């Protein structure tokens, strides 16, 4: 934390002004501010947006820094992709700490000041991935806030020994309990969900469950999840990631799910996928559901896409939800910034007095332009401290 | 046209080699080529891909070069967007020639050597837009091949006088007859389609019809289009743009349409939209339908998206069709390059001896990487002539 005065800066689409951050919080926005003792940065008339929130990614599995991975598996078969990844991680002897440092620093260079990372826990890799990502979270504490989710990527009921490892992961300090397609991957929704809810109970933590199951199957699994969360009164402690089933075309089937999610103050995380039905921005807003977005894995064995850029992700959110007007583009940005922070259970980032001193200076003549352009960030500030400049973090990448 | 030797260049994911272009065509690929008299370029070990094909855009309506347009219309109401645009074009006194020069040059800088542009023909603007775009096509003949489609953006049957203007447009030399949502916009499918097919007949040209209508309505309109094209034996002369209805989930309804499109050697153009059902790459391939992609309008009154980059569009095509493996990423690229050229009725661009000498030198260590990165192009070559370097065309933008 430090004191910072940003001069000649536009707050979103406003006129140039100044922003003063002291002790890690925005204390004043206006002209002729008293920046005594503060570091001074001139934004050159550029736009400031709040610190961005990468709300769904996998820091432990990117191949950043490795020779390009030539993918011959494709996207048709989920279990083939899961098995291929587990094998490739062993063969390449991927170091989860080094990879998560690379991935997190790249994400921070694009302006994210918050990251929620799922971390693979399985009987091949054990707790190694979590150890590596937690080491990264500690080393980067001044650069980006990192949450970890203990994630049974290779299944739970179909992979004996995993429940015990997840218990260990929570003892080590994972922030949330994870889960994955209780029907589609584990083929035992009751077994899977009872196990992960019991672990969340035991450790007093929230849940963030991957749910790729589509249509009726996904809706069924979501009901099983909601039943358990409601019975435990888990207000604000449940996240469902992807939730493709909410993109079903039948409001009579979907709206009751949305009502229950809203009443639980639950969060939905999306990548704003182009190839799947998906939850939409206005739909989440209407039901008071917290909505965050993420890049998911980037440049890994799953595919060549992604780079950690949450401003480009705001473009994808806008494209997916068919947002076009200025007011709608602010919504897309909010999903990737303040709204995403809330969805992660963190304090909302906004450019107003009293908010955390996280902000990003971006290129572009208007917010909508900045989103569609997503050029390298001019400056990234975390708690009043400059952490990246001209697209690169100040800390060297390993 | 000129002679060019590109050294130290990788053909897609191959090893470094040389490409020799003479008289506008690739005459040799290999080592120690005799480049006597040819301009020599060193690609620095980078990858070459074929010239890109922007197969669906609107060169006459971008606001590039204007102050940023603040959009308060949004995306909910098609007729409101159409009416707003017509009014804004008048208010801003948009010069279709200047705007199309800006738009086409930016698209060329991103590596497109072919563009198909729909051009608004309506009773407000008359033929002014077509005059402007045709002037651009002439001026840029050495930079990018531009096709024009006479496009009734504001409707045909609901806007008396438009049919006569379209007839004039075809006399002026528009390359294709356009059309637009015969039910959704014109509310008179028989009237609309009879009119545009008659004009296409009269001028001996093909058709490229915008069809946004979804589901059953779109399928109905498509059947009316196919009936007319089949009756006239219009093999290779029909394009349907967008064709959202082909994304319907019922193969029993969709596949007969695909069979008819394939038998007609028809083309489908897509933007690979994230917010609509849409035709998919493997589906088009399976039925032998030519498939091209485009950015549609860029930075105009319709929305803030788009920049003319057909390499980024290949990423969108990949994301929309859930393409991930190397082989699948080549398919995504082909839709935006050689395949797109074929869909436009132009000669297929490929990096092999005998093909047109259009190529693009891109950044990235593999083709899939180049697509996901879509960094500024190192070099763009049209018919053996360098037309853009380091992301900028050699010709100044007006």
Q: Is the ipTM of this complex over 0.90?
A: yes
Does residue B387 share a domain with residue B324?
Answer: no
**For residues A3-26, average pLDDT:** 97
Partner A, chain B 376-395, Cβ-Cβ below 8 Å: none
Does residue A187 share a domain with residue A147?
Answer: yes
Of A74, A274, A321, nearest to B328 by CB-CB distance is A74
Of B319, B365, B368, nearest to A275 by CB-CB distance is B319
**B393 band by pLDDT with thresholds 50, 70 and 90:** very high
Interface check B14 vs A, CB under 8 A? no
Interface check B84 vs A, CB under 8 A? no
Q: Is the pLDDT of residue A78 over 90?
A: no
Last residue of a domain, one of B343, B369, B384: B343
Q: Please state, in angstroms and as integers, the Cα–Cα distance from residue B180 to each residue in B78, B185, B193, B225, B269, following that order.
A: 12, 7, 9, 11, 14
The answer to whether residue B398 is domain-embedded is no
Residues of A in contact with B319 (CB under 8 A): 273-275, 305
Chain A / chain B CB contacts < 8 angstroms: 111
Interface check B332 vs A, CB under 8 A? no
Residues of A in contact with B325 (CB under 8 A): 71-75
The answer to whether residue A398 is domain-embedded is no
**Tell me, what's the pLDDT at B1?**
56
**For residues B251-260, average pLDDT:** 97
Does residue B81 share a domain with residue B16?
Answer: no
Last residue of a domain, one of B343, B361, B378: B343
**For residues B355-380, average pLDDT:** 97
Residue B69: CB atoms within 10 Å: 18
Does residue A122 share a domain with residue A40?
Answer: no
How close, in Å, is residue B57 to chain A by CA atoms? 17
The answer to whether residue B311 is domain-embedded is yes
CATH number for the domain harbouring residue B169: 3.20.20.140
Residue A183 DSSP class:
T
Last residue of a domain, one of B301, B320, B343: B343
Contact B305 A319 (CB under 8 A): yes
**Tell me, what's the pLDDT at B157?**
94
Residue A164: CB atoms within 10 Å: 10
The answer to whether residue A299 is domain-embedded is yes
Overall number of domains in chain B: 2
Contact B177, B157 (CB under 8 A): no
> Can you read off the two tokens belonging to residue B225?
């289009």
Interface check B244 vs A, CB under 8 A? no
B194: enclosing H helix or E strand = helix B189-203
How close, in Å, is residue A272 to chain B by CA atoms? 8
**B78 band by pLDDT with thresholds 50, 70 and 90:** confident
Partner B, chain A 86-145, Cβ-Cβ below 8 Å: none
Q: Please state, in angstroms and as integers, the Cα–Cα distance from residue B142 to each residue in A375, B6, B99, B136, B385, following that order.
A: 30, 19, 19, 11, 8
Comparing alpha-carbon positions, the chain B residue that sits nearest to A70 is B326
Question: Could you report the per-residue pLDDT of A231-262, keeping only the tens digit for each?
Answer: 999 999 999 999 999 999 999 999 999 999 99
Percent of chain B topping pLDDT 90: 94
**A80 band by pLDDT with thresholds 50, 70 and 90:** confident
Contact A70 B307 (CB under 8 A): no
Residues of A in contact with B324 (CB under 8 A): 71, 73-75, 302-305
Residue B336 DSSP class:
T
Of B273, B318, B366, nearest to A70 by CB-CB distance is B366
Contact A368 B327 (CB under 8 A): no
Write the Ramachandran bin of B165: left for phi over 0, alpha for psi from -120 to 50, otherwise beta: alpha
Does residue B382 share a domain with residue B277?
Answer: no
How close, in Å, is residue B3 to chain A by CA atoms? 34
Of A306, A326, A365, nearest to B71 by CB-CB distance is A326
Comparing alpha-carbon positions, the chain B residue that sits nearest to A247 is B275
Q: Is the pLDDT of residue A81 over 90?
A: no
Q: Is the pLDDT of residue A312 over 80?
A: yes
Residues of A in contact with B303 (CB under 8 A): 324
The answer to whether residue B88 is domain-embedded is yes
The answer to whether residue A70 is domain-embedded is yes
Interface check A336 vs B, CB under 8 A? no
Q: Is the pLDDT of residue A115 over 90?
A: yes
Between A164 and A79, whose confidence is greater? A164
**For residues B239-247, average pLDDT:** 98
Does residue A334 share a domain with residue A365?
Answer: no
Does residue A364 share a domain with residue A242?
Answer: no
Which structural domain range is residue A162 located in? 52-343
Question: Could you report the per-residue pLDDT of B325-341, keeping only the tens digit for each?
Answer: 999 999 999 999 999 99
Question: Could you report the per-residue pLDDT of B18-27, keeping only the tens digit for each?
Answer: 999 999 999 9
Rg (CA), chain B: 20
Q: Is the pLDDT of residue B263 over 80?
A: yes
Interface check B272 vs A, CB under 8 A? yes
**For residues B161-180, average pLDDT:** 98
Spell out the residues 6+ positions from residue A10 whose beta carbon is closer than 8 angstroms to its own.
A16, A17, A43, A45, A46, A47, A48
Handedness of CA A361, A364, A366, A368 (dihedral sign): negative
Interface check B161 vs A, CB under 8 A? no
Does residue A132 share a domain with residue A39?
Answer: no
Interface check A33 vs B, CB under 8 A? no
Residue B36: CB atoms within 10 Å: 7
Residues of B in contact with A271 (CB under 8 A): none
**Tell me, what's the pLDDT at B63?**
95
Q: Is the pLDDT of residue A77 over 90?
A: no
The CA-based angle B64-B70-B72, given to 5 degrees, is: 130
- In Å, how far from its chain's centre is CA A244? 17
CATH number for the domain harbouring residue A386: 2.30.40.10
Residues of B in contact with A368 (CB under 8 A): 68, 71, 304
Question: Could you report the per-residue pLDDT of A53-63, keeping only the tens digit for each?
Answer: 999 999 999 99
Contact B320 A275 (CB under 8 A): yes
Interface check B249 vs A, CB under 8 A? no
Does residue A187 share a domain with residue A319?
Answer: yes
Interface test with A, best of B67, B274, B365 (most A CBs within 10 A): B274
Does residue A158 share a domain with residue A18?
Answer: no
In whole angstroms, give the CA distance from residue A365 to residue A367: 7
- In the three-class reduction of DSSP (H, G, I as helix; E, B as strand; rest coil), residue B20 is classed as strand
Comparing alpha-carbon positions, the chain B residue that sits nearest to A303 is B324
Interface check A8 vs B, CB under 8 A? no
Interface check A340 vs B, CB under 8 A? no
Of A13, A70, A305, nearest to B319 by CB-CB distance is A305
Residue with tokens 């010709």: B395
Does residue B200 share a domain with residue B122?
Answer: yes
Residues of B in contact with A306 (CB under 8 A): 372
The answer to whether residue B60 is domain-embedded is yes
Contact B275 A322 (CB under 8 A): yes
> Can you read off the two tokens belonging to residue B67?
């102050």
Question: Could you report the per-residue pLDDT of A128-157, keeping only the tens digit for each?
Answer: 999 999 999 999 999 999 999 999 999 999
Interface test with B, best of A320, A324, A375 (most B CBs within 10 A): A324
Instruction: Quickly list DSSP for A21-34.
Output: EETTEEEEEESS--
Question: Could you report the per-residue pLDDT of A195-243, keeping only the tens digit for each?
Answer: 999 999 999 999 999 999 999 999 999 999 999 999 999 999 999 999 9
Residues of B in contact with A74 (CB under 8 A): 323-325, 327-328
Does residue B138 share a domain with residue B8?
Answer: no
**A1 band by pLDDT with thresholds 50, 70 and 90:** low
């Amino acid at each position: 934390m430090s004191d910072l005065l940003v001069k000649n800066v536009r707050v979103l689409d406003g006129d140039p002004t100044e922003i003063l951050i002291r002790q890690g919080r925005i204390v004043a926005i206006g002209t002729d501010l008293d920046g005594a003792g503060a570091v001074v940065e001139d934004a050159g008339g550029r736009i400031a947006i709040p610190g961005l929130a990468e709300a769904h990614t996998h820091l432990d599995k990117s191949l950043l820094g490795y020779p390009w991975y030539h993918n011959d598996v494709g996207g048709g078969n989920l279990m083939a992709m899961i098995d291929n990844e587990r094998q490739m991680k062993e063969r390449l002897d991927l170091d989860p700490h080094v990879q998560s440092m690379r991935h997190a620093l790249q994400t921070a260079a694009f302006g994210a000041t918050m990251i929620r990372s799922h971390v693979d826990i399985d009987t091949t890799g054990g707790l190694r991935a979590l150890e590596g990502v937690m080491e990264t979270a500690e080393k980067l504490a001044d650069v980006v806030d990192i949450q970890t989710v203990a994630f049974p990527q290779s299944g739970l009921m179909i992979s004996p020994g995993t429940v015990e490892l997840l218990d260990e992961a929570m003892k080590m300090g994972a922030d949330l309990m994870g889960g994955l397609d209780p029907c589609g991957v584990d083929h035992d929704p009751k077994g899977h969900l009872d196990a992960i809810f019991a672990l969340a109970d035991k450790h007093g933590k929230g849940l963030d469950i991957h749910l790729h199951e589509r249509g009726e199957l996904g809706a069924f699994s979501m009901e099983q999840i909601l039943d358990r969360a409601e019975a435990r009164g888990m207000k604000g402690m449940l996240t469902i990631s992807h939730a493709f089933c909410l993109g079903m075309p039948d409001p009579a089937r979907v709206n009751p799910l949305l009502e229950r999610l809203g009443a639980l103050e639950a969060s939905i995380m999306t990548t704003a996928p182009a190839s799947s039905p998906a939850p939409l921005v206005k739909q989440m807003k209407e039901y008071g559901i917290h909505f965050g977005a993420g890049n998911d894995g980037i440049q890994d064995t799953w595919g060549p896409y992604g780079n950690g850029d949450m401003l480009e992700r705001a473009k994808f959110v806008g494209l997916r939800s068919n947002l076009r007007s200025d007011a709608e583009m602010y919504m897309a940005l909010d999903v990737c910034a303040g709204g995403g922070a809330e969805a992660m259970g963190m304090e909302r980032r906004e450019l107003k007095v009293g908010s955390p001193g996280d902000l990003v200076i971006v290129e572009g003549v208007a917010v909508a332009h900045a989103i569609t352009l997503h050029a390298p960030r001019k400056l990234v500030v975390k708690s009043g401290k400059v952490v990246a400049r001209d697209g690169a973090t100040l800390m060297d990448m390993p």
